[in-house]
């Protein structure tokens, strides 16, 4: 063997097993960083990536239209006063988090292989005007920044075609989980948003009783009305778990909602935050079995909720010995 190879080999033979393992680990780490580029797949500026929709800030998007030919009505959403609204007839509040997630996925949509340029083959990929889901996006200056048809799902992606072209591309990721929703699925049905660390007081009221819970200076919750005692920790945990679940099942139309008597609600939940602000949710029983109408303070929208939610909150026992409240 040539002399120049003998010394390195001798050095390797004398090296401890631990050092050999460390060298292999370092080499693999360098390989991953240089070749695999972890995190690169989710980066908008990943080297060499070509994106299906021009890059822009999500906050610049003003209007969205999703027309699924299988649905009776399109999903029309517009940002008004910095809040997304569904504009299908009534200005229902839209789920802002869901809209942002959709736009993030849209603007990270990578344009892959070109699979066809033939107008007559667009139906094969379900990106024609009859079967494709038509998506349009406008910015704050009412300029079209996205106009395309989404078609068949493929592994890790979907077929897409821009409206002004017959070129069909494979794109990654798939937007199907957003595009198959009707406008009901985009509505924000949250009645109460609760972060326990921000809440100072909770009041549970019905025509027969009222329970007031407050968080003391040490952070321990106690009942202060109708009598004062330390609140059971498990009951407090359950209360806040249930408060996080206060969402409407559906929106109630104006005709049905006119039956709701919120002047004398059957139940009321009030919360006061550490910053002094407060809010409440009113519940009144409907004529339908096991259904309540609900309305959040300061809002005109009326929701329906299950009586199970009411039972789970107002049935809690806050005395640690399990006695009555």
pLDDT digits (tens, 9 = 90+) for 63-84: 999 999 998 889 999 998 888 9
Nearest Cα residue to 237 out of 294, 324, 312 = 312
Residue 150 — φ and ψ, nearest 5°? -100, 135
Q: For 196-252, write each residue's pLDDT tens digit.
A: 888 999 999 988 889 999 998 888 999 999 999 999 999 999 998 888 777 777 777
The CATH class, in words, for 196-314 is: mainly beta
Nearest Cα residue to 66 out of 43, 97, 98 = 98
Residue 58 — φ and ψ, nearest 5°? -60, -35
Spatial separation of the C-alpha atoms in residues 52 and 108, rounded to whole Å: 8
Q: For 14-67, write each residue's pLDDT tens digit.
A: 566 656 556 655 555 554 444 444 433 333 444 556 899 987 889 999 999 999
Domain boundaries, the chain: 58-186, 196-314
pLDDT for position 27? 52
Neighbours of 97 (CB within 10 A): 11
Q: What is the pTM of this model?
A: 0.66
Could you tell me the two tokens for 256?
A: 């049905």
Asked if 132 contacts 149 with a C-beta cutoff of 8 angstroms, the reply is yes
278 CB contacts (<8 Å, ≥6 apart)? 270, 271, 272
Nearest Cα residue to 269 out of 323, 312, 219, 314 = 314
């Amino acid at each position: 063997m040539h002399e120049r190879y003998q010394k390195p080999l001798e050095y390797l033979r004398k090296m401890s097993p631990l050092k050999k393992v460390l060298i292999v680990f370092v080499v693999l780490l360098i390989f991953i960083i240089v070749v695999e580029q972890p995190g690169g797949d989710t980066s908008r500026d990943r080297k060499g990536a070509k994106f299906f929709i021009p890059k822009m800030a999500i906050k610049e998007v003003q209007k969205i239209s999703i027309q699924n030919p299988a649905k009776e009505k399109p999903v029309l959403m517009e940002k008004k006063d910095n809040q997304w609204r569904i504009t299908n007839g009534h200005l229902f509040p839209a789920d802002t988090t869901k809209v942002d997630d959709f736009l993030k996925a849209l603007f990270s949509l990578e344009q892959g292989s070109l699979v066809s340029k033939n107008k007559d083959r667009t139906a094969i990929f379900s990106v024609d005007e009859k079967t494709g889901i038509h998506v349009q996006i406008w910015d704050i200056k009412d300029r079209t920044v996205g106009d395309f048809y989404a078609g068949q799902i493929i592994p890790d992606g979907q077929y897409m075609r821009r409206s002004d072209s017959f070129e069909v591309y494979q794109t990654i990721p798939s937007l199907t989980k957003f595009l198959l929703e009707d406008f009901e699925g985009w509505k924000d049905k949250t009645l109460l948003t609760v972060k326990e660390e921000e809440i100072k007081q909770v009041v549970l009221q019905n025509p027969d009783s009222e329970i007031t819970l407050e968080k003391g200076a040490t952070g321990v919750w106690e009942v202060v009305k109708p009598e004062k005692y330390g609140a059971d920790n498990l009951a407090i945990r359950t209360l806040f778990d249930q408060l996080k679940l206060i969402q409407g099942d559906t929106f109630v139309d104006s005709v049905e909602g006119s039956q709701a008597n919120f002047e004398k609600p059957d139940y009321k939940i009030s919360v006061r935050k550490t910053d002094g602000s407060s809010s409440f949710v009113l519940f009144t029983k409907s004529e339908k079995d096991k259904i309540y109408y609900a309305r959040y303070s300061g809002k005109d929208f009326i929701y329906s909720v299950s009586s199970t939610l009411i039972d789970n909150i107002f049935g809690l026992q806050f005395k640690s010995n399990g006695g009555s409240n």
